[in-house]
Every structure is written in structure tokens, then in C-alpha cells.
Structure 1
Amino acid sequence: MVEENTKNKPFITLHTPTTTSRVLSECDLYMPNYDKDPDMKSVRENFDRQTSERFEEYDERMITNRQKYKEQCDKDIQKIILKDKIDKSLAKNGLWYATLSQYVTQTSIQKGIGAVISHLDTSLGALNLPGVPLTEIITSGNYYLDTLIMEAIKSEAVSLCAVESTTNQVFCTFTKNGSDLTRSISGAVKGAVQAGKEAAEFEGTKLATNTSILTTSIIISIVTIVVIVLVMLIIYLILRYRRKKKMNKKQQYTKLLN
């Protein structure tokens, strides 16, 4: 049976290597034979040196990149802070200017109304409406035009004289004829309107001049603040640059010593 199984079958010949393999395997890395081999020792030293150099270069790049990102972040933060200060200052001054402009306008109108009332009190005398102060008749809607003032006075006169009263008798005699009332008060009203316009213009000019002076002072203050902030930012960047340069030199010296 054995002869039949082995009949007509080639015999397997074992191959015996004649050369020694010098391939570095992971299992044989720390074998004593490799430690004693000068070539393998040189390879290991080169590998360790190159690996160490790469790690050092990587660390240097990371330090440089972190420093660069930090400086860029600081610059962005400074820009944001400066922009926020400027926006807040402009918003505050804009609101202040709008409020001041409104104040100037209202003050001029009140001066004009006061001048009209004062002139009518002086000119009309007994023609003043009994029981109705001129402050209720002369308003910001009619102080600048004589026809509007006359219409307001006649309207009040008609309503007053519709009721019989001895108090209104002197004044109501003028309401019987509209032309008499118009002639009596037209000259005084025109003069009062002119006086009111002059008073309003004078007050507006005076307040506008003061406003211009205040606005100029505020603008100068804002510009001064911005310049100071910019100078501080420039000084900060210069100090940053010097510090970075000093650190780079220190790293170069350390690298040379190592």
C-alpha cells in the first residue's frame, strides 16, 4: 500500500537558504544580534535622529502658528473694540444732536410766540379778548402768519360776543362790523408777526452758533480719542513684534545649542 501511494509522485525537496536575510523585522528589533551589528545600529541612530528632528520642527511650527493665531486674534479683538467705541460714540452724539436740534427749533418758536403776544398786548390794549389770554390764541401753528392770527382772534370774538355780558361790551362793539375789527387789529397783528419772526430768527441763530461750537468740541474730542486709541494700538503691535523677534532669536540659539 505504501508503495502504491508513493508511486508516480515526485519527492518534495527542502530548500536550505545559503544567504542570511538582513531585513529588519519588528519581532527581531531588539535582538542582541542587531544591537551588535554596526549597520543596524547606524540605521537606528539615523532613524532616531530624523524622528527627533521632525518632532522638533513640528513643535516649532506649532509654536509659531499658535503665536501667529494669537496675534491675529488680538488684532481682531482690538478692531472690534475700537469699532464698538466709535459706533457707540456716533450713536450717542447723533441722538444728542437730534435732541439739541429739536430743542433749538422749539426754543425759537416759543421766542416768536412770546414776541407776538408782547407786541399785541402793547398795541391792542383794550382790544384784548376778555377772559381769553393770548397764549391760548397765539400758537406754533399761527404765530408766523397775520391772517391766521386774525382768523383765530375773530373766531374767539364771535364765540364770546354770542353771550351778552358787560365785561365783553367794549370789545364786542368791534364784532358788529368785521371790517372794523380787521382794520383795528391788522396793523398790530402784522407788526407782531414781524416781531415774532425776528425774535425766532435771532434765537435760532444764537442757539445754532452755540450748537455749532458744542458740535465742533465734541468732534474734536472724538477725533482725539480715536487718535489715542490708534497710537496705543500701534505701540501694542510694536511691542508684540519685538517680543516675537526676541522669542525667535531665543529659539534659534536653543536649537543651535542642542
Structure 2
Amino acid sequence: MKSVKENFDRQTSQRLREYDERLQDKRQKRKEQRDKNIQKIIHKDKMEKKLAEKIEKGCLMCACGLGSVAGSVGLLGGFGIYVSKSAALATAIAEGAETAKAAGEAARIPAAIDAVIKGITKVFGVSTLGVQRLESLFTANIYNNVTMIARAINEQYNPSSCILPIGGSGADKSICPWVMEKYLPAQNIPEMTRGGALSMNDVIETAVKSIVTDAKTVAETAAKKATEEAIKASTDAVESAYAACQTAIIASVVAILVIVLVMMIIYLILRYRRKKKMNKKQQYTKLLNQ
């Protein structure tokens, strides 16, 4: 009895393991199939989106072409062109967003660097740092590094020499007007003399920080302008295409009106000739009756 029970338990366990393995295998296959189906759906959605965009652009071009050559299509093409224009504008704005973002970023950094250079030149009256001119020194990585710029100015131009009897090759008098204007009054500002002594580097750093802050404002303005111009360029292209289509539609309508006018003239001529013939026939009838 015990042997039978053990045999039964062993067989049951084996069958359960086999069942579990089959179940895991089926789950894996279903998961793989589900993933394949998801990929197919994603691919199908992408294809449908691309096709819809191509159809929208094709409709815009077809409406222009048909409106310029067919009068009947020209009458019905106005609504189609309006709908196509709205869709094309939405597509142009969506597609131009990334381009506008890149254009804004490309305009922001050069504008910031130029503003920093002009600010340093205007405030400190200097045009070089080390052996390099400011235009070749500043890059996208360091133009807003206030500490580095202030230290470089302090080390090269030795502004302390303007107020202290310090000689040497490091002294440069080009910065002295700024020192006399800013450093001496700063001694009376409590926030600048908390350590008991006024640091020339701190005064320079305060001025550089103000320059960099102003440069950021200039950079954001330049980036915003570049972004708006990029988006405007995308929408102007659609507007130009729509204007051409509108001209074609107007020409088609005018052509239809001319055709209608010609047909009315022909109708009036034929009607006049018919009445004239009828009058002559009536006259002949009267003569015969007499």
C-alpha cells in the first residue's frame, strides 16, 4: 500500500511538473506572439500616419492642379483647399517644432557669448584674457562660468595695482578706471566686507555675474526670435502654397463665369433667331389667310 502511494505521488508530481512545463512553454509562446502582434500594430500605425501625411500633402497639390485646369473642380476645391491648408499648417507646425528648437538653441549660445564679450569690454575696458582675444576665448562651456572669468580678469589685469603701490609685469592700467569707480565705493557696502576685508576678486565676480545675467536675457530673446522665425518659415511655405491654390481657384471661377456668359449669349442669339423665324412664319400665315 505504501509503495502504491509513493508511486502515485511520484507519478502525480511528474505529471504536475510536465503540466507546469507545458504551461510555461505556452505562456512563453503566447507572450512572443503577443509581442509580435504589438510590433505589427505599431508598424501599421506608423505606416498609416505616414500615408495620411502623404495623402494630405497630395490632396493639397492635387487641389491646386485640378483647380487651375478644371472649372467644376475649381468651384468645389475651395472647401477642400481650406481643409487641406488647416491640416498642412498643423503638420508644418508639428514638424517644425524640432527644427525651431534646434534653431533657437543655435542662436542662443552665440548671442550669449557676444553679450558677455560686449559686457566685459564695456564694463572693464579690456579686450583680451591671457594671449587670446575675448572672441576666440569664450565657448559654449565657459561663457557663463562667472568664477573662472572673474579669476582670469583678476590674475591678468592685477586691479590691485591701481590702488596699491604694486609693480611688476602683471600690472595693467586699462582696468583702473573701473577699479576707481567700483572698488572704492564697494568698501562702504556691508555685504561686500563681511570678512573684514574687501576682496578685489569678489568685486570683479559681482560685476561679471551681472554681465552673465544680462547675457542670459539677451540669449533667451535671441532664441525666442529664432524659434519664431523657424516656425514662421514652415507656416509661410504652406501659406504660399495655399495662396497659389487660391489664385488658381479664382481663375477657374472666372473661367466658368466666362463660359456661362458665352453660353447665355449663344442662348439669347438662338432665342432671338427662333423668335425672328416665328414672326416671319406668322407673317406668311397672315398673307396666306388674306
Task: Give TM-score, length-normalised by structure 1.
Answer: 0.30
Task: Give TM-score, length-normalised by structure 2.
Answer: 0.28
Point out the structure with max Rg over C-alpha. Answer: 1
Report which of the two has the higher share of helix. 2
